[in-house]
Amino acid sequence: MTLLLASIQRNVGLVMAPLLIIAFALYVIFNLRRARPETGTEIELAPNRKPYYGDEDLEGPRLDRFLTYALGLLGIVAIGLPLYWLAEPGRMEGQIAALEKKFESRGEATFEENCATCHAAGAVGGVAAFVQTDPLTGDYVADRSWVAPALNNVLLRYDREEITYVLDHGRPFSPMQPWSTVGGGAMNEQQIKNIIDYLASIQISTEEARTEAREGAEATMQAYGEAGIPLSEGAAMFHNEAASGTYGCARCHTDGWSFGVPGPVGGGAFGPNLWNVDKKFASDEEFVAFLAEGCEAGMTYGVNGQCKTGQMPAFGEYYTEAQLEALVDYVKSLDGSQQVPADPAGGEE
Ligand code: HEC
Ligand code: HEC
């Protein structure tokens, strides 16, 4: 509707402009043709010497006629201005919407060019090649692949600022590099904003995310169960990376999980060690609330807890409260003795 208004005004303008040009050309032509050659005296020719209308003409029908014209024009102004004024916000909205579309499509192009190799076209999640090295010596260990999460649900766990943080600084220990000039990449602020605009335009709903997360956890439970490694519901959610789009805790809290050679569950990687972490929370409700909300830089939680970077994601849009309670039960049980292989069928170590 707003776009329609804007395009109507443009079309009216496009019709008016040539009409005005033609009218002006006609005026010039007629004016030139009316000019007579100098034949008589200045008295006959000078326009100001020409006898003009008498009073009875000037104050009669002629005056009425001009007053009528003036009234008509006044009417046009009186109606036209408010109409213009009414349509203006719509026109502006149309312009803004058109600009936003433009930013989104630029963001999409940048994404497909730079990010889709790992996060897949449409940001549904994929894998990235990763060369594992010894963290102490830097020596080559093995070629691995690192799960690159789906991003068509990323705004359900992070806000725009937190995503900007990832794009500014990358996850340097992983194949995810910094992209903006802030962290040594090549993209400017606008390009980063465009990418996030694009991601925002393709986000799935909370309902879809919950279905994906639930089905992913069920598939995880089943796959491990079939391999003789029974997982509780909470354990399945912790390791929920079975289907594309799912997103678990192990990727950040278990060393080596993301590239297939996990250490003890919850031993800490990008996210801190979780053994006995329940001591940080006065109650299970407090723990559940923390998982639902995630971190915002500076936010305090539990006992003496304060978020540093805001990179602990929010899980309230993926899991119901009951599911988060099951997850908390599992996290509370972690003490370094648990081990869950990355591939239930035992493909890798
Ligand atoms: C070389 C592969 C690769 C490329 C290219 C890449 N990423 Fe990543 N990205 C990853 C991996 C792997 C992770 C997961 C890192 C981790 O486990 O912490 C990741 C993580 C992320 C995250 C954090 C998601 C989360 O929930 O933890 C965001 C946001 C992201 N990437 C956005 C992008 C954008 C936008 C681009 C393009 C400008 C991009 N990535 C390009 C591999 C890549
Ligand atoms: C993208 C990586 C990432 C994922 C996925 C993630 N976390 Fe975290 N988590 C972090 C980071 C980083 C911190 C530290 C937060 C800070 O200081 O800003 C953290 C902190 C925590 C803490 C507080 C630890 C402490 O000692 O205070 C708990 C508990 C926690 N995470 C549990 C979980 C659970 C349970 C899940 C899965 C539902 C999960 N995390 C998924 C990155 C992650």
Q: How far is CA 210 from CA 236, 252, 319, in A?
A: 14, 20, 6
Tell me what pLDDT residue 243 has: 64
Question: Domain locations in the chain?
Answer: 99-203, 228-349
Show Cβ contacts of residue 272 under 8 Å, excluding neighbours closer than 6 positions.
253
The number of angstroms, rounded, from the C-alpha of 294 to the middle of its chain's C-alpha atoms is 20
Question: d(Cα 118, Cα 125) in Å, to the nearest integer?
Answer: 7
CA of 13 to the centre of ligand 1 (A): 48
| 335: its two tokens | 């003490």
CATH 1.10.760 is right for the domain spanning 99-203: yes
Please report which confidence band the pLDDT of residue 152 belongs to, taking 50, 70 and 90 as the band edges: very high
Residue with structure tokens 């994929």? 126
58 or 40: whose pLDDT is higher? 58
**Which CATH class name applies to 228-349?**
mainly alpha
pLDDT tens for residues 263-296? Answer: 999 999 999 999 999 899 999 999 999 999 999 9
Q: What is the pLDDT of residues 180-216, one digit of tens each?
A: 999 999 999 999 999 999 999 999 999 999 999 999 9
Buried b (16+ CB within 10 A) or exposed e, 148-171: bbbbbbbbbbbeeebbbbbbbbbe
Phi, psi at 175, each rounded to 5°: -70, -5
Shortest-distance Cα residue to atom 41 of ligand 2 = 249
Q: Which ligand is nearest to the CA of 195?
A: 1
Instruction: Name the residue type at position 273.
Output: N
How many angstroms separate the CA atoms of 204 and 189, rounded? 25
For 210-257, how does the pLDDT look when each residue is reduced to its tens digit (9 = 90+)?
A: 999 999 999 999 999 999 999 999 999 999 986 667 889 999 999 999
pLDDT of residue 348: 44
- Closest C-alpha to ligand 2, atom 28: 274
Which ligand number lies closest to the CA of residue 192?
A: 1
* Residue 251: predicted pLDDT: 94
Same fold, 99-203 and 228-349: yes
